């Protein structure tokens, strides 16, 4: 199907270099990024600080000119480096919620909210503007606060006001750059649920930026994982967690045990037999299209909750994917037990609900469940 019909935003081969500052080794802040934002979906750009998320968002908003590439929005080309096409930010069908909310302190709450209706793409006048703003304020939980000064709102309330204002611009796409990062942890968790339910309620397509993997997993239909200006993987949250394509994604999302692979060969039942420093590991998962023969190297990846532990010591014979290890530390965390065991000098993190009595120095056998163990090419 045509990418333009089902997508609100289509990004193709976007690159951006800033004036290079002395000592900076990265030539591109973003380096050949392509992804789609399907209509009505909540898509998140996730990656560590400095990986190019804000730059991507600012290029989409038209606040930066990309060096190469193309941006389409609602079927229209709003940017094309080659054809030197650049539609002005105010003419793009978007609204941006910046990290700092961008609330005007000299305006009352209702006037902040009504701003895009009075000054935006589709200008309106008269009493219905205030009426519409009041309705929206009520919908985001700010009923009765319309005539306060914007500075009299708490952080969470300012966040909601910024959202109300963005929505009143009637955007095709809402762009949100780390909108919860200035709030404390508890409020952040509450507001992320709220934001998601507003998004569903208004059916507005959203492109969200965060460095917080929990936030990305909890809120998104699709996550675009970025690293050093490039896209590492685009997937649904569950797929990203269960089928990471690289050690970077595995490590950034959740926690992962990663064992370097010295040599890989085809194993039983289509699995990969990977030789690692703890021994040969059978991995049933590998990235689609990955050719085993050509991917010696890479990593075995197993989540802490996919490692089983049982008492070992003399007399215990390791089964397939099972290795003798010694308990190095054991932490009781209420809902689970977190262990670090060492096998052939390599630490392995284990998360278990087993009521196994563990103590430091205890000999155990750890089993890596082959059905949830991956062989990653890089
Ligand atoms: P993120 O939002 O993921 O933290 P940014 O997009 O802000 O990342 O930055 C990506 C890279 O581009 C970083 O290396 C940053 O230092 C650089 N960068 C961002 N803005 C500018 C600028 N105005 N001038 C020069 N370099 C910049
Ligand atoms: Mg940023």
Task: Tell me, yes or no, if the two domains 7-240 and 256-378 fold the same way.
Answer: no
For 328-348, the pLDDT digits (tens) are: 999 988 888 999 999 999 999
Distance 301 CA to ligand 2 centre (A): 29
Which bound ligand lies closest to the C-alpha atom of 19? 1
What is the sign, positive or negative, of the torsion defined by CA atoms of 137, 140, 144, 150?
A: negative
Confidence label for 290 from pLDDT (cuts 50, 70 and 90): low
For 197-240, the pLDDT digits (tens) are: 889 988 999 999 999 999 999 999 999 999 999 999 999 999 99
Confidence label for 145 from pLDDT (cuts 50, 70 and 90): very high
Is the model's pLDDT at 291 over the cut of 80? no
Among left, alpha and beta (phi > 0; psi -120 to 50; other), residue 68 is: beta
For 81-100, the pLDDT digits (tens) are: 999 999 999 899 999 887 77
- Residue identifier of the C-alpha nearest atom 21 of ligand 1: 18
Q: Which CATH number fits domain 7-240: 3.40.50.300, 3.30.70.1450, 3.40.50.2300, 3.90.650.10?
A: 3.40.50.300
For the domain spanning 256-378, the CATH number is: 2.40.50.140
Coil/strand/helix, residue 357: coil
Instruction: List phi, psi (to 5°) of 265.
Output: -140, 160
- Residue identifier of the C-alpha nearest atom 24 of ligand 1: 18
**CB under 6 Å to ligand 1: residues?**
18, 26, 29, 47, 49-55
- Residue identifier of the C-alpha nearest atom 27 of ligand 1: 18
| Contact call for residues 46 and 235 (beta carbons, < 8 A) | no
Distance 173 CA to ligand 1 centre (A): 23
Distance 10 CA to ligand 2 centre (A): 21
Ligand 1 atom showing the smallest separation from residue 211 Cα: 3
Ligand 1 atom showing the smallest separation from residue 45 Cα: 3
Nearby residues of 365 by Cβ (< 8 Å), 6 or more positions away = 309, 310, 311, 312, 316, 318, 322, 323, 324, 325
- Residue identifier of the C-alpha nearest atom 18 of ligand 1: 29
pLDDT score recorded for residue 328: 96
Confidence label for 20 from pLDDT (cuts 50, 70 and 90): low
Nearest-5° Cα angle at 51, 186 to 170: 65
Mean pLDDT of the chain: 90
pLDDT higher at 191 or 365: 365
Domain extent listing, the chain: 7-240, 256-378
Distance 50 CA to ligand 1 centre (A): 6
- Residue identifier of the C-alpha nearest atom 22 of ligand 1: 18
Ligand 1 atom showing the smallest separation from residue 51 Cα: 3
pTM of the shown model: 0.89
Give the span between the Cα atoms of 280 and 276, in whole angstroms.
6
- The percentage of the chain sitting over the pLDDT mark of 70, rounded to a whole number, equals 94
Instruction: List phi, psi (to 5°) of 29.
Output: -70, -40
Probe residue for ligand 1, chosen from 25, 26, 29 as the CB with the greatest number of ligand atoms within 8 Å? 29
């Amino acid at each position: 199907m045509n990418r333009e019909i089902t997508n609100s935003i289509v990004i193709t081969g976007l690159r951006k270099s800033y004036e290079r500052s002395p000592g900076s080794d990265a030539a591109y802040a973003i380096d050949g990024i392509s992804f789609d934002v399907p209509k009505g979906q909540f898509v998140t750009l996730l990656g560590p600080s400095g990986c190019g998320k804000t730059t991507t968002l600012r290029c989409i908003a038209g606040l930066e000119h990309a060096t190469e590439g193309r941006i389409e929005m609602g079927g229209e080309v709003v940017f094309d480096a080659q054809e030197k096409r650049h539609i002005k930010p105010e003419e793009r069908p978007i609204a941006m919620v910046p990290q700092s909310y961008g609330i005007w302190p000299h305006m009352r709450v209702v006037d902040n909210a009504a701003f895009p209706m009075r000054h935006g793409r589709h200008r309106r006048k008269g009493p219905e503007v205030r009426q519409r703003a009041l309705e929206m304020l009520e919908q985001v939980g700010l009923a009765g606060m319309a005539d306060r000064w914007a500075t009299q709102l708490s952080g969470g309330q300012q966040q909601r006001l910024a959202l109300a204002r963005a929505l009143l611009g009637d955007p095709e796409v809402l762009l949100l750059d780390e909108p919860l990062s200035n709030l404390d942890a508890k409020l952040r968790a509450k507001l992320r649920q709220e934001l998601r339910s507003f998004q569903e309620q208004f059916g507005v397509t959203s492109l969200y930026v965060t460095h917080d993997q929990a936030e990305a997993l909890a809120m998104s239909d699709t996550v675009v994982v970025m690293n050093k200006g490039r896209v590492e993987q685009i997937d649904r949250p569950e797929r990203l967690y269960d089928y990471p394509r690289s050690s970077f994604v595995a490590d950034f999302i959740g926690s992962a045990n990663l064992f370097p692979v010295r040599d890989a060969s085809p194993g039983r039942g289509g699995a990969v037999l990977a030789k690692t420093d703890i021994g040969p590991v059978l991995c049933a998962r590998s990235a689609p299209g990955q050719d085993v023969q050509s991917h010696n190297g890479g990593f075995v990846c197993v989540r802490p909750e996919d490692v089983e532990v049982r008492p070992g010591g003399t007399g215990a014979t390791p089964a397939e994917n099972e290795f003798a290890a010694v308990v190095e530390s054991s932490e009781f965390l209420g809902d689970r037990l977190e262990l670090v065991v060492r096998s052939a000098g390599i630490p392995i993190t284990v998360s278990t609900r087993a009521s196994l009595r563990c103590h430091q120095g205890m000999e155990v056998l750890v089993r890596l469940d082959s059905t949830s163990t991956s062989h990653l090419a890089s």
